[in-house]
């Protein structure tokens, strides 16, 4: 357990740096790190790390280097501007346990700007919330990693073990950014991710599969009789209805999963995108839907894919046209296994102690129907991957916002965690 006076000094130090931390987070939100456009935000992160004297490693994700590793997900975009940044703090003398602090720089699309109260990349603070795309998911997290470290230094100490500060791309779509950190060789005794899931320990997360269904229709002049042609859009929607039946089936199977059996709806199928048709007066010749599905921890992805493909095949077989012109399934992103945090008693205890010192109550835990990059550390590197972070509302929605008081408190938890996990030495 950390000395009380030291802990108190560190907590006070977080408060002292918090205004600057908020301003830094706002600057980061201003950089629109949408997929394929993360590079300027990564330059900003690299500069912040360099300023702190870290050894900075900034590299473009190389598909060739990771494509055969477990956890790799298929990618259909260019990585020309997809850079990871890792800043490594390496103390002169090492006495404690090493740590990875990991966050993702990529943000999801904003949707129509006119449905935001203010523009999504103009972060403003109101009633204790910071608004903006990525404010919660997860630039507040990226900021607090650095400012937790700063607080320790400001209190007169330095961590006594290496810390790798990772700002990665591609969390929202493939996880290939985190995977590239593994491939690059970064390793530590524990990894901690401040995803905005609230200050609760994440015990389990689902896996994810993204897939497209490409549906062909028989185009005809739309002036034809009722049945002339086969409308690819309507057929695609019929396939989606069948996939929703599979969603029900998968959710019913939660009884087989002790961690998920009490979850109200562990497996969400989301029809996230549709594009179909060529001309208003032509019967659509093609339609593609994009779907996100969750997968229980422990499920083999190949089994899940087989069920998805069988469902699509079955839906097609009941249709005269589709049975002769079967839709195809293509995987265009997430291909993620689920993950349960296990064998992590040591770091869990340190997190629980740190949390209790800040919040005055015990750390609770939960299981989620979402996924995070924590799986990479846990599944492929035998490193506990823990997730614990601030409070966010409307992630992926309009007026996304993060609760700044929760950011302050979580920063304190992280600072105490670093101090206890890594140990302290004098500056």
Options 9, 69, 200, 274; binder of its own copies; rule CB under 8 A: 274
- Dump the DSSP string for 260-274: TTT-S-----EEEEE
The count of residues interacting with its own copies (CB under 8 A) is: 64
Is residue 175 a contact partner of residue 108, using CB atoms and an 8 Å limit? no
Residue 157 Cβ, how far from its own copies at the closest point, in Å? 37
Options 278, 342, 346, 365; binder of its own copies; rule CB under 8 A: 278
Strands (E) in 47-90, as ranges, are 55-60, 83-89
| Binding flag, residue 3, its own copies (CB under 8 A) | no
The smaller minimum CB distance to its own copies, of residues 283 and 424, is found at 283
Give residues with Cβ within 8 angstroms of 169, minimum separation 6. 35, 38, 42, 61, 82, 83, 84, 104, 105, 106, 176, 177
Q: Which residues pair with 84 in a beta bridge?
A: 59
Residue 105 Cβ, how far from its own copies at the closest point, in Å? 16
Give which of 214, 201, 195, 177 is closest to 137, Cα–Cα. Answer: 195
| Binding flag, residue 74, its own copies (CB under 8 A) | no
Options 32, 81, 370, 425; binder of its own copies; rule CB under 8 A: 370
**Residues in 159-218 at the binding interface with its own copies, rule: CB under 8 A:** 172-173, 206, 208, 210, 216, 218
Is residue 71 a contact partner of residue 336, using CB atoms and an 8 Å limit? yes
* Piece in contact with its own copies (CB under 8 A), picked from 13-21, 39-47, 266-274, 313-321: 266-274
**Residues in 217-256 at the binding interface with its own copies, rule: CB under 8 A:** 218-226, 229, 231, 233-234, 237
Q: Quote the CA–CA distance of 176 and 191 in Å, as a whole number.
A: 17
Give which of 239, 217, 232, 215 is closest to 315, Cα–Cα. Answer: 239
Residue 291 Cβ, how far from its own copies at the closest point, in Å? 7
| Binding flag, residue 114, its own copies (CB under 8 A) | no
| Binding flag, residue 33, its own copies (CB under 8 A) | no
* Piece in contact with its own copies (CB under 8 A), picked from 52-60, 145-153, 277-285, 377-385: 277-285
The smaller minimum CB distance to its own copies, of residues 287 and 379, is found at 287
| Binding flag, residue 292, its own copies (CB under 8 A) | yes
- Angle at 19 (CA atoms; ends 167, 89), nearest 5 degrees: 35
H-state helical runs in 289-424? 301-317, 320-324, 345-359, 374-380, 404-422
| Binding flag, residue 125, its own copies (CB under 8 A) | no
| Binding flag, residue 270, its own copies (CB under 8 A) | yes
The smaller minimum CB distance to its own copies, of residues 244 and 349, is found at 244
Residue 286 Cβ, how far from its own copies at the closest point, in Å? 6
| Binding flag, residue 128, its own copies (CB under 8 A) | no
The smaller minimum CB distance to its own copies, of residues 224 and 258, is found at 224
Give which of 364, 241, 242 is closest to 314, Cα–Cα. Answer: 242
DSSP 54: P
**Residues in 330-369 at the binding interface with its own copies, rule: CB under 8 A:** 332-334, 368-369
The smaller minimum CB distance to its own copies, of residues 233 and 350, is found at 233
| Binding flag, residue 115, its own copies (CB under 8 A) | yes
| Binding flag, residue 156, its own copies (CB under 8 A) | no
Q: Quote the CA–CA distance of 75 and 331 in Å, as a whole number.
A: 9
| Binding flag, residue 58, its own copies (CB under 8 A) | no
Helices 140-154 and 404-422, interaxial angle, to 10°? 50
| Binding flag, residue 277, its own copies (CB under 8 A) | yes
Contacts 24+ apart (CB under 8 A), 225-229: 228/283, 229/283
The smaller minimum CB distance to its own copies, of residues 6 and 274, is found at 274
| Binding flag, residue 112, its own copies (CB under 8 A) | yes
Q: Quote the CA–CA distance of 108 and 131 in Å, as a whole number.
A: 15
Residue 225 Cβ, how far from its own copies at the closest point, in Å? 5
Strand duo 99-104 + 163-168: pairing: parallel
| Binding flag, residue 57, its own copies (CB under 8 A) | no
Q: Quote the CA–CA distance of 208 and 175 in Å, as a whole number.
A: 10
Q: Quote the CA–CA distance of 156 and 6 in Å, as a whole number.
A: 9
| Binding flag, residue 258, its own copies (CB under 8 A) | no
Q: Quote the CA–CA distance of 2 and 357 in Å, as a whole number.
A: 10
Residue 76 Cβ, how far from its own copies at the closest point, in Å? 11
Strands (E) in 105-188, as ranges, are 125-126, 129-131, 157-159, 163-168
The residues binding its own copies (CB under 8 A) are: 108-112, 115, 137, 172-173, 206, 208, 210, 216, 218-226, 229, 231, 233-234, 237, 264-265, 268, 270-287, 290-292, 294, 332-334, 368-371, 394-398
């Amino acid at each position: 357990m950390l000395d009380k006076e030291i802990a108190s000094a560190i907590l006070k130090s977080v408060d002292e740096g918090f205004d600057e931390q908020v301003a830094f987070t706002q600057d980061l939100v201003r950089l629109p790190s949408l997929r394929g456009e993360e590079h300027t935000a990564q330059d900003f992160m690299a500069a912040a790390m360099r300023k702190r004297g870290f050894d900075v490693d900034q590299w473009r994700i190389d598909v060739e280097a990771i494509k055969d590793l477990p956890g790799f997900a298929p990618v259909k975009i260019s990585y020309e501007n997809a850079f990871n940044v890792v800043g490594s703090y390496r103390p002169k003398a090492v006495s404690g346990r090493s740590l990875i602090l990991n966050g993702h720089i990529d943000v999801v699309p904003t949707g129509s700007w006119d449905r935001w109260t203010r523009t999504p990349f103009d972060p403003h603070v109101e009633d204790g919330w910071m608004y903006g795309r990525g404010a919660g998911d997860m630039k507040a997290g990226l900021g607090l990693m650095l400012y937790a470290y700063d607080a320790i230094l400001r209190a007169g100490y330095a961590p006594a073990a290496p810390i790798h500060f990772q700002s990665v791309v591609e969390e929202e779509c493939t996880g290939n950014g985190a995977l590239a950190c593994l491939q690059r060789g970064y390793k530590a005794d524990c990894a901690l991710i401040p995803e905005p899931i609230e200050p609760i320990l994440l015990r389990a997360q689902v896996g994810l599969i993204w897939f497209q269904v490409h549906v062909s229709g028989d185009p005809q002049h739309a002036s034809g009789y009722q049945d002339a042609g086969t409308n690819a859009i309507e057929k695609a929607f019929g396939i989606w209805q069948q996939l929703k039946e599979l969603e029900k089936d998968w959710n019913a199977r939660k009884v087989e999963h002790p961690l998920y059996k009490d979850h109200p709806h562990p497996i969400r199928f989301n029809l996230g995108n549709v594009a179909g048709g060529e001309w208003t007066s032509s019967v659509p010749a093609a339609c593609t839907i994009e779907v996100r599905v969750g997968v229980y921890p422990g499920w083999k992805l190949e089994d899940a894919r087989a069920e998805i493909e069988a469902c699509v095949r079955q839906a097609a077989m009941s249709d005269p046209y589709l049975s002769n012109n079967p839709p195809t399934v293509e995987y265009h992103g997430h291909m993620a296994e689920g993950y349960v945090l296990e064998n992590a008693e040591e770091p869990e205890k340190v997190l629980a102690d740190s949390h209790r010192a800040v919040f005055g109550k015990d750390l609770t835990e939960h299981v989620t129907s979402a996924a995070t990059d924590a799986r990479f550390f846990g599944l492929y590197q035998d490193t506990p991957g823990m997730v614990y972070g601030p409070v966010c509302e409307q992630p992926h929605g309009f007026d996304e916002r993060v609760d700044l008081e929760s950011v302050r408190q979580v920063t304190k938890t992280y600072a105490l965690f670093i101090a206890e996990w890594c140990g302290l030495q004098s500056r």
